[in-house]
Structure 1
Amino acid sequence: MKYHCFTPKALASQITLATAGLLSVGSWAQAPAQPMVEEVVVVGLAASQERNLDAKRFANSVTDTVTAEEIGKLPDVTIADTLQRVPGVQIRRSAGEGSTINVRGMPQVTALLNGEQFLSAGSITTVQPDFTDVPSSLISGLEVHKSPTASLLAGGVSGTINMQTVRPFDLDEGLTLSGNAEMSRGSESKEDDGKLSAFAGFNHGDFGVVVTATFDQSNLANYRNGTILNGMEVIGEDERDQRDFNNDGDNNDSFLTQRFHGVMDKTTERERMGLSTSVQANLSDSLEFIGDVFYTEMDDYDRQQGMMIDTVRGNNWAYSDDFDARLEGPLGGSIYTTNRATLMVPRVSSYSESLTNGRESTNVNLQLNYDNGGRLRGSARYLHGDAERTHTENVAHGFITSGEQHGLLRNDGGGVEPVNPRGYGPDLVEVGFDRTGKYVDLAFEPGFGDDITRYNLVSTYSENNFTEEASLDVLRLDGSYDFDANHITSVDFGVRYGQRDVDRETYILVAPFTTGSLSADVMWKDSGASLGDTNGDGENSVAGGDLTLGSTQYYTDLPDGWVNERTNFGPSKLGGTFYFVNPEMLDDNVAFQNAIYPGNKALVDPATSYSVEEATQTAYVQVNFEGDIGSFPYSGNIGAQYIQTDLDIMQNLVGGGSPCSLCTVSNKIGEETIERSYDDFLPAANLAIELTDDVILRAAYAKTMTSLDIDDLAGGLSVGRSRAGSVLGAELGVNPDLMVAINGVQNGNPGLEPWRSDNFDLSAEWYFASNSMISLAAFYMDIESFIESGTVMMGLPDEDGVVRRELPVSTNINGSGGSIKGLEFAYQQAFDFLPGFWGGFGTSLNFTYAPSDSANVDVYGSSLPIQDNSERSGNAVLWYEQYGWQVRLAANYRSDRLDRLADPLGQGVIPIWTDATTYMDLSVSYDVTDEVSVYVQGSNITEEFEDQYAQWEDYVITQNIYESRWALGVRARF
Structure 2
Amino acid sequence: MKTSVKALMATSAFMCAFNAMADGRLEGRVSDSAGSVYFDGAIIRLKELKLESSTKDGGRFSFNSVPAGTYTLTVDYLGAESVQRLVNVADEQTTKEVVKIGSDVASMENLIVVGQAAGASSALNKQRAADNFVSVVSSDSIGQFPDENVSEALQRVPGVFIERDQGEGRFVGIRGANPDLNSASINGMNIPSPERDRRSVALDVIPSGLLEGLEVRKTNTPDMDGSGIGGNIEVKSLTAFDRDGMSYNLSAEGNYNDLESEVSPKIAGTFTNVFDVGQGQLGVAAALSWQDRDFGSETMEGDGEWESDLEGSGYRGPVKMEQRDYTINRTRLGAALNLDWRPSDTSEYYLHSLYSHFEDQEYRQRAEYKYDDGDLAEIDGDSALWTDAEMERNLKDRFEEQKITSVVLGGMNMSGDWTYEYSVGYSKSEENEPDYHGSNFKAKDIDMGYTSLGESPDVFAADEAFVASNFELDEIEITNNYTQDEMFTYKFDITREMSFAGHPGYIKFGGKISNREKTDDVDTQLYDDFSGLGDPTMDQFSRSTVDYGLGRLGPAIDKGLIDNLINGSIVGSGTAYQDDGVLGEAYNESMVASARDYVIEEDVQAAYIMSRVDINDLRLVYGLRYEGTKVDSKGYDARLIEDANGDFSHSIEQVKFDKEYHHVLPSINARYRLTDELLLRAAYSETIARPSFGDITPSPEEISIEENELKVEAGNPDLDPYESSNFDLIVEYYPGDIGVISASLFYKQIDNFIFAADVSDMVDSSVYAPGVTIDESEIYMPMNGNSADLYGLELAYTKSFESGFLIQANATFTSSEADLDLEPGASRSSNTELPEQADTVGNLVLGYETGPFSLRLSTNYKSKTLMELDLGDKENDTYADDHMQVDFSAKYDINDSMQMYFNAINLTDEPMYLYQGSRKYNSQYEEYGPSFVLGFTYRNF
TM-score tier (shorter): 0.7 to 0.9
Q: Which amino acid aligns with 2:547?
A: N
Q: 1:915 to 1:171 in 2, by over 3 A?
A: same
CA distance, structure 2, for counterparts of residue 197 and residue 950 of structure 1: 42
Is the Cα contact below 8 Å between 1:290 and 1:368 reproduced in 2? yes
1:420 aligns to what? none
Q: Distance in 2 between matches of 1:481 and 1:16?
A: 23
- Of 470, 473, 484, 2:488 maps to 473
Per-residue deviation at 1:287?
A: 2.7
Q: Determine if the alignment matches structure 1 residue 441 to structure 2 residue 458.
A: yes
The answer (yes or no) to whether the contact 2:861–2:884 under 8 Å persists in 1 is yes
1:191 is aligned to 2:262 = yes
Residue 582 of structure 1 corresponds to which residue in structure 2? 559
Partner residue of 2:22? none
Aligned mates of 1:826, 1:100 — CA distance in 2: 23
Asked if 1:868 corresponds to 2:940, the answer is: no
Aligned mates of 2:401, 2:75 — CA distance in 1? 48
Q: Which residue of 2 aligns with 1:826?
A: 796
1:594 is matched with which residue? 571
Query: Superposition pairs for residues 121-132 of structure 1, below 5 Å?
Result: 121=194, 123=195, 126-132=198-204
Separation of aligned partners in 1, 2:543 and 2:251: 37
Counterpart of 1:943 in structure 2 is 909
Measured in 1, the distance between the counterparts of 2:236 and 2:193 equals: 15
Measure the CA separation in 1 of the matches of 2:304 and 2:398. 17
Residues 158 and 21 of structure 1: CA distance in aligned 2, closer, same or farther (over 3 Å): same
Cα distance in structure 1, aligned partners of 2:642 and 2:490? 44
Contact in 1 for aligned 2:304/2:916 (Cα 8 Å): no
Q: Structure 1: how far apart are the matches of 2:497 and 2:207?
A: 38
Farther-moved stretch of structure 1 (202-211 vs 874-883):
202-211
CA shift for structure 1 position 345? 5.4
Amino acid at match of 1:137: G
- The residue aligned with 1:154 is 226
Check 1:863–1:487 CA distance in 2 against 1; reply closer, same or farther (3 A cut).
Answer: same
1 or 2, which has the higher strand percentage?
Answer: 2
* 1:261 Cα deviation from its structure 2 partner: 1.0
What residue number does 1:806 align with? Answer: none
Alignment of 1:182-331 (within 5 A): 182-205=253-276, 206-227=281-302, 229-235=303-309, 241-242=311-312, 245=313, 254-313=314-373, 315-316=375-376, 319-320=378-379, 323=380
Paired position in structure 2 for 1:740: none
2:401 pairs with one of 358, 377, 392: 358
**Alpha-carbon distance in structure 2 between the residues aligned to 1:904 and 1:755:** 24
Q: Quick check: 1:490 aligned with 2:524?
A: no
SS of the equivalent of 2:499 reads coil
Residue identity matched to 1:831: F
Q: Report the secondary structure of 1:71's partner residue.
A: helix
Distance 1:897 1:591, change over 3 A: farther
Secondary structure (helix, strand or coil) at the match of 1:963 reads coil
Q: Distance in 2 between matches of 1:193 and 1:81?
A: 18
Q: 1:925 to 1:601 in 2, by over 3 A?
A: farther
Equivalent in 842, 849, 862 of residue 806 of structure 2: 842
Query: Which residue in the other structure is 1:910 paired with?
Result: 876
Q: Measured at CA, do residues 450 and 212 of structure 1 come closer, stay the same or move farther in structure 2, by a change above 3 Å? A: same
Q: Which digits, 9 at most, give the CA deviation of each residue in 1:220-267, with x for residues without a partner?
A: 21111132x44333556xxxx44xx4xxxxxxxx33322221322112
Q: CA deviation at 1:431?
A: 4.1
CA deviation profile, 1:482-527 (whole Å, cap 9, x unmatched): 1133335111211111101121112211xxxxxxxxxxxxx25155
Stretches of structure 2 that go unaligned for 5 or more consecutive residues are 1-29, 43-53, 66-72, 78-100, 103-111, 577-585, 704-710, 771-778
Q: Deviations over 1:606-632 (max 9, x none)?
A: 43211122111111111111123xxxx
Partner of 2:420: 378
Question: Contact 2:901/2:934 (CA < 8 Å) preserved in 1?
Answer: yes
Q: Is the 8 A contact 2:58 2:242 kept in 1?
A: no
Deviations 1:871-890 (A, max 9, x none): 11211100011111111100
Decide whether aligned partners of structure 1 residues 368 and 269 sit closer, same or farther in structure 2, where only a CA change above 3 A counts.
same
2:785 is aligned, of 815, 840, 846, to: 815
Change in Cα spacing, 1:314 to 1:344, as seen in structure 2 (3 Å) is: closer
Instruction: Report the secondary structure of 1:669's partner residue.
Output: strand
2:116 corresponds to which residue?
A: 45
Question: 1:506 aligned to 2:522?
Answer: yes
Distance (Å, rounded) in 1 between the aligned partners of 2:522 and 2:567: 15
Structure 1 residue identity aligned to 2:796: A
In structure 1, distance between residues paired with 2:631 and 2:671 = 38
Change (3 A) 1:124 1:113: farther
What displacement does 1:670 show? 3.6
Structure 1 letter corresponding to 2:394: Y
CA apart distance, 1:124: 6.0
2:669 to 651, 663, 686: 686
* Pairing partner for 1:855 from 819, 844, 847: 819
Change (3 A) 1:876 1:971: same
Paired residue for 1:525, among 512, 525, 528? 528
Counterparts of 1:587 and 1:162 in 2: how far apart (Å)? Answer: 47
- Would you say how many aligned residue pairs link Structure 1 and Structure 2? 812
Give the superposition deviation at 1:462.
Answer: 3.7
> Aligned-pair distance for 1:43?
2.1
Q: Is 1:99 matched with 2:99? A: no
Q: Are positions 1:388 and 2:371 aligned together?
A: no
Distance 2:517 2:647 in 1: 30
Matched position secondary structure for 2:834 = coil
Q: How much has 1:381 moved relative to structure 2? A: 0.5
Counterpart of 1:62 in structure 2 is 133
Determine the C-alpha separation between the residues in 2 that align with 1:585 and 1:627.
Answer: 73
| Amino acid in the other structure paired with 1:573 | G
CA distance in 2 between counterparts of 1:16 and 1:764 reads 19
* Contact 2:374 2:386 survives alignment (8 Å): no
CA–CA distance in structure 2, aligned partners of residues 197 and 712 of structure 1: 38
User: Cα gap change, 1:969/1:664 in structure 2, threshold over 3 Å: closer, same or farther?
Assistant: farther
- Which position in structure 2 is the counterpart of 1:109? 182
Q: Is 1:777 equivalent to 2:744 in the alignment?
A: yes
Question: Pick from 647, 651, 666: which aligns with 2:631?
Answer: 647
User: How well do the aligned residues superpose, as a CA RMSD in angstroms?
Assistant: 3.6
CA distance in 2, matches of 1:897, 1:497: 36
**In 2, distance between residues paired with 1:346 and 1:936?**
50
Greater shift, 925-934 or 640-649, is seen at: 640-649
Alpha-carbon shift at residue 664 of structure 1 (Å)? 9.7
1:379-420 per-residue CA deviation (whole Å, 9 max, x = no partner) reads 120101222211355322223x3x3x3xxxxxxxxxxxxxxx
TM-score between the two structures when normalised by the length of structure 1: 0.77
Aligned 8 A contact 2:304 2:923 in 1 = no
Amino acid of the structure 2 residue aligned with 1:479: I
Q: Contact 1:444–1:574 (CA<8 Å) still a contact in 2?
A: no
| Distance of aligned partners of 1:746 and 1:525 in 2 relative to their CA distance in 1, 3 Å threshold | closer
Task: Decide whether the 8 Å contact of 1:119 with 1:363 is kept in 2.
Answer: no
Give the AA of the match of 2:189. Answer: E
What stretches of structure 1 of length at least 5 have no aligned partner? 246-253, 324-337, 406-427, 510-522, 528-547, 721-743, 800-808, 833-838
Task: Give per-residue Cα distances to partners, 1:158-195, cap 9 Å, x unaligned.
Answer: 1110010122222212x211111111010111112011
Residues 204 and 677 (structure 1), Cα distance of their counterparts in 2 relative to 1, 3 Å cut? same
Seen in structure 2, the aligned counterparts of structure 1 residues 209 and 124 have a Cα distance that, compared at 3 Å, is: farther
CA separation of 1:580/1:647 partners in 2, compared to 1, >3 Å: closer, same or farther? same
Distance 1:293 1:637, change over 3 A: same
* Partner SS state of residue 617, structure 1: strand
In 2, distance between residues paired with 1:220 and 1:192?
Answer: 9
| Distance in 2 between residues matched to 1:912 and 1:61, nearest whole Å | 36
Of 696, 714, 732 in structure 2, the residue corresponding to residue 765 of structure 1 is 732
User: Conserved in 1, the CA contact under 8 Å of 2:640 and 2:648?
Assistant: no
Q: Which residue is equivalent to 1:787?
A: 754
